Structure 1
Amino acid sequence: MTMLKPHAAPNPTEPPPAVQAAATLWLVAVGAGAFETVLAVTDLLSTGTASAGELLSGAGIRLVVFAAAVFLTLRLRQGRNWARWTLAVTLGVFGTLSLVIGPVQWLMEGHSITEAFAGADVMGLLFGGSRVLHVLAVLGAVALMFQPRANDFFRSTGRQLTSAGHGLRDRDGRA
Structure 2
Amino acid sequence: MTGTALSLWPAPLRSGAPAQPPRPVLVAFVGLVAALLAGVAEAIVQTALLLERDEVDLAGLATGLGVRLGIYLVVLIVAIRMTHGARWARILLTFGIGVIGLLSLIIEPLAALLSADKFGDLFADLTVESAMIGLFRAIHIVAVLVAIPAMYRPGARRYFSLPRLSVSLGQTHA
**Aligning the two structures, in what range does the TM-score lie when normalised by the shorter sequence?**
0.7 to 0.9
Q: 1:160: which partner in 2?
A: 164
Runs of 4+ in 1 over 4 A off after TM superposition: 162-168
Query: Please, which runs of 5 or more residues in structure 1 have no aligned partner?
Result: 1-9, 171-175
Taking every aligned residue pair, what percent have the same amino acid on both sides?
Answer: 29
Q: 2:116 aligns with which of 110, 115, 126?
A: 110
The answer (yes or no) to whether the contact 1:22–1:141 under 8 Å persists in 2 is yes
Structure 2 distance, partners of 1:99, 1:34, is 13
In structure 2, do the counterparts of structure 1 residues 111 and 67 end up closer, same or farther at CA, with 3 Å as the change threshold? Answer: farther
Q: Is 1:85 the equivalent of 2:91?
A: yes
Task: Say whether the 8 Å CA contact 1:81–1:154 is kept in structure 2.
Answer: yes
**In the alignment, is the contact (CA less than 8 A) between 2:164 and 2:173 conserved in 1?**
no
Is 1:133 matched up with 2:132?
no
Give the structure with the larger helix fraction.
Answer: 1
* TM-score of the superposed pair, with normalisation by structure 1: 0.83
Which structure 2 residue ranges, 5 or more long, are not aligned? 1-15
Partner of 2:61: 55
What is the distance in 1 between the residues matched to 2:118 and 2:24?
Answer: 36
Partners of 2:160 and 2:87 in 1: how far apart?
A: 6
Is the 2:50–2:56 Cα contact (8 Å) retained in structure 1? yes
Aligned match for 2:51, one of 31, 40, 45: 45
In structure 2, the residue matched to 1:122 is 128
Q: CA separation in 2, counterparts of 1:61 and 1:112?
A: 36
What TM-score results when the alignment is normalised by the length of structure 2?
Answer: 0.83
How many pairs align? 159
The 1:47–1:111 alpha-carbon spacing in structure 2 relative to 1, beyond 3 Å, is farther
User: Which position in structure 1 is the counterpart of 2:12?
Assistant: none
